[in-house]
């Protein structure tokens, strides 16, 4: 047993401590218990309360006599009898369980939703029946008055399986693309489902019609999450007949009165992790909200933190024993966690000895949890304009950052970007208008929004490669290159400017290859007066010209970049350097003067920004001129040209022989 005191609330971890292996003999177990104090203080509340690998979900029966849990590996279900504090039975399943529901008051009727689209029914002796649903399911809910089992998942439809008739009924068609969670009220039977678009839809099984749509994403989106996707509903639960709790993927919990579209309270977990489960305490005004790292217990009227439970393993599911302070969690570990908080209620009747044990133990470890604080780095403080608070009591240094009050953080965030919420509303209105008013002419464009030119090149290359195509657009490793704007090719960058002449040269070579490949083969058979030497020299001259052009282009880009750096360097030096009157720098430069004197008239006019048109005094004469530099030939080109002229004089042509026909015999 481990005792913690978090926010002045004592929490007893009944699953802490080492467990003795089963293969040890009784003699060795007694010897270990004598030596180790932690082993003597451990409490095994229920025997074999663990899984071989991971526990995924946990439930308690309505009569309070049985606790059921599912896990892997192999996929299985365990049923524990709390009267005997031991395992009642264990069954292995064909596939993993997404979630399950107990249909009866005890363990005799259970339904499992499995990951391979199967719904499996179990009775006391074992598996009763197994059927398949059209789409992958994510949650199930049971409506007792009509005996309807609702299955929701990766579809816009809510599938209805009537257990009395034994067949599927007409599904409910929602406005969402996918549905994540569902819940049925025990008081009035209203069905609510949470969708991927951040909405909660309510359906009445009696009239089989939609009663309303609740937009939860609008109330849990602030400036901190404006660049991310819209919040998704991940958990939903009723609190009596009129109240409801909704958990989102951004770590918000919203409490609603079903008669109003505005939330009564919004609670933020401050970590951005999706809410996995929301539970309500039956006797006290507290809410249990769980994500993968923490279970927070807070007042549902004020939102004030009461206490929190953390575990070294990630949480998967939560089960609260009604009218008690005992709670159980399915975690990403072999041992399922059991916590007891005496201030929230007494121990259950089947483990009443816990009250006597907890009275004797005193909490030694104290832990402070910063629930109403937000962790920020030093760069974020500077961007928010709060760096002047360093060294004050408003900031608590922690690791590589600081804890700041969440109210101060939100106020500074709103001042730094005051129109974030308005932009979010406008963006959402624009998306709504675009959905309701689709364009009449739809242009099918398979190119992505980012790096469209690169994607078109890749698609052209794939079209040419018929034998071994490599589709980089569908490769997950390069997926972010065509989706994330940070990977957009910057054509103004120095690296791209230096590489661009080479790329343009490659494109020219590709176009030449395609043109030569598209030539009609019938034209090759016609005899022509061709000179092979001429083709050789022409191709060599063309290749040398191409090499010269792209080399010049690369040099030109180098020169421009160097001038730009030099200009920036001169500006910074001019700003930083301060001259005295006695040490004024000289402006005359002899080299520059001689360079100007040696330059031609056209270069001097172009440098001084004069026009190339000179008009006479009478106004009836004008002179135009353009200065062109002579193209200098290299020594190798001169030798090749000279050799070609000499060979042309000596070599005798043979093209005319192909045109003469032989006489008939």
Alpha-carbon distance values, 140 to 114, 119, 426 (Å): 11, 10, 36
DSSP state of 657: G
Residues of the chain with pLDDT under 50: 223-227, 363-368, 517-540, 542, 576-588, 615-619
pLDDT of residue 488: 78
Tens digit of each residue's pLDDT (9 = 90 or more) over 460-470: 776 666 555 55
Walk across the sheet containing 337-340 and list its strands.
315-320, 326-331, 337-340, 9-13, 2-6, 365-367
Partnered with residue 319 across adjacent β-strands are: 328
* Residues near 448 by beta carbon (within 8 Å), at least 6 away in sequence: 455, 473, 482, 483
Please tell me the distance from the alpha carbon of residue 543 to that of residue 561, in angstroms, as a whole number: 27
Ramachandran assignment for 629, one of left (phi > 0), alpha (psi -120 to 50 degrees), beta (any other): beta
Please tell me the distance from the alpha carbon of residue 565 to that of residue 559, in angstroms, as a whole number: 10
* Sequential DSSP letters for 242-267: TEEEEEETTSEEEEEETT-SS-SEEE
pLDDT of residue 109: 93
pLDDT of residue 609: 59
pLDDT of residue 521: 44
pLDDT of residue 227: 43
pLDDT of residue 629: 53
Tens digit of each residue's pLDDT (9 = 90 or more) over 380-403: 888 888 878 887 877 878 777 888
Partnered with residue 214 across adjacent β-strands are: 200
In this structure, whether the domain defined by 2-367 belongs to CATH 2.130.10.10 is answered with yes
Please tell me the distance from the alpha carbon of residue 190 to that of residue 635, in angstroms, as a whole number: 93
What are the extents of the domains in the chain?
2-367, 373-421
Please tell me the distance from the alpha carbon of residue 290 to that of residue 278, in angstroms, as a whole number: 6
Count CB atoms within 10 A of the CB of residue 58. 22
pLDDT of residue 280: 92
């Amino acid at each position: 047993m481990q005792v913690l005191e978090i926010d002045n609330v004592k929490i007893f971890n009944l699953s802490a401590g080492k467990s003795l292996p089963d293969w040890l003999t009784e003699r060795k177990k007694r010897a270990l218990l004598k030596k180790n104090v932690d082993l003597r203080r451990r409490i095994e509340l229920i025997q074999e309360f663990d899984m071989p690998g991971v526990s995924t979900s946990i439930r308690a029966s309505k009569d309070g006599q049985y606790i059921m849990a599912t896990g892997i590996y192999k996929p299985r279900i365990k049923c524990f009898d709390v009267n005997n504090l031991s395992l009642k039975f264990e069954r292995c399943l064909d596939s993993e369980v997404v979630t399950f529901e107990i249909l009866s008051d005890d363990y005799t009727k259970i339904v499992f939703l499995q990951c391979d689209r199967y719904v499996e029914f179990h009775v006391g002796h074992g598996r009763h029946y197994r059927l398949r649903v059209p789409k992958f399911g994510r949650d199930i809910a049971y409506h007792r008055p009509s005996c309807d089992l609702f299955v929701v998942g990766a579809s816009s439809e809510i599938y209805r399986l009537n257990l009395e008739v034994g067949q599927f009924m007409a599904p409910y068609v929602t406005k969402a693309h996918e549905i994540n969670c569902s819940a049925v009220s025990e008081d009035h039977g209203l069905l609510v489902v949470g969708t991927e678009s951040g909405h909660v839809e309510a359906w009445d099984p009696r009239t089989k019609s939609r009663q309303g749509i609740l937009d939860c994403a609008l109330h849990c989106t602030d400036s901190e999450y404006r660049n991310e996707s819209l919040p998704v509903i991940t958990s939903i639960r009723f609190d009596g007949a009129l109240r409801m709790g909704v958990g989102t993927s951004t770590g918000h919990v919203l409490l609603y009165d079903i008669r109003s579209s505005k939330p009564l309270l919004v609670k933020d977990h401050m970590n951005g992790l999706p809410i996995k489960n929301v539970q309500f305490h039956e006797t006290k005004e507290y809410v249990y909200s769980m994500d993968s790292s923490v279970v927070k217990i807070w007042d549902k009227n004020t939102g004030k933190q009461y206490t929190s439970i953390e575990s070294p393993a990630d949480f998967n599911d939560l089960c609260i024993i009604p009218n008690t302070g005992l709670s159980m969690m399915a975690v990403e570990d072999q041992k399922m966690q059991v916590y007891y908080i005496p201030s929230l209620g007494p121990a259950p009747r089947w483990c009443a000895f816990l009250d006597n044990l907890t009275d004797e133990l005193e909490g030694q470890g104290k832990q402070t949890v910063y629930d109403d604080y937000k962790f920020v780095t030093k760069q974020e403080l500077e961007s928010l304009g709060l760096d002047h608070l360093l060294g004050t009591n408003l900031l608590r240094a922690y690791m590589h950052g600081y804890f700041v009050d969440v109210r101060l953080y939100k106020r500074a965030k709103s001042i730094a970007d005051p129109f974030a919420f308005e932009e979010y509303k406008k963006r959402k209105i624009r998306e709504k208008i675009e959905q309701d008013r689709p364009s009449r002419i739809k242009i099918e464009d398979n190119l992505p929004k980012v790096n469209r030119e690169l994607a078109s090149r890749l698609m052209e290359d794939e079209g040419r490669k018929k034998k071994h195509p490599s589709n980089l657009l569908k490769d997950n490793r390069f997926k972010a290159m065509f989706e994330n704007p940070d990977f957009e090719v910057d054509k103004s960058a120095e690296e791209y400017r230096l590489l661009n002449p080479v790329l343009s040269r490659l494109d020219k070579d590709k176009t030449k290859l395609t043109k030569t490949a598209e030539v009609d083969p019938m034209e090759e058979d016609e005899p022509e007066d061709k000179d092979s030497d001429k083709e050789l020299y022409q191709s060599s001259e063309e290749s040398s010209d191409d090499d010269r052009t792209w080399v010049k282009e690369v040099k030109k880009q180098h020169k421009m970049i160097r001038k730009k750096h030099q200009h920036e360097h001169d500006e910074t030096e001019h700003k930083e350097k301060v001259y005295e009157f006695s040490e004024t720098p000289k402006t005359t430069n002899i080299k520059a003067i001689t360079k100007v004197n040696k330059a031609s008239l056209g270069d001097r006019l172009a440098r001084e920004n004069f026009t190339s048109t000179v008009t006479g005094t009478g106004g009836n004469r004008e002179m135009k001129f353009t200065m062109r530099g002579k193209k200098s030939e290299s020594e190798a080109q001169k030798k090749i040209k000279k050799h070609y002229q000499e060979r042309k004089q000596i070599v005798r042509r043979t093209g005319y022989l192909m045109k003469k026909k032989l006489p008939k015999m």
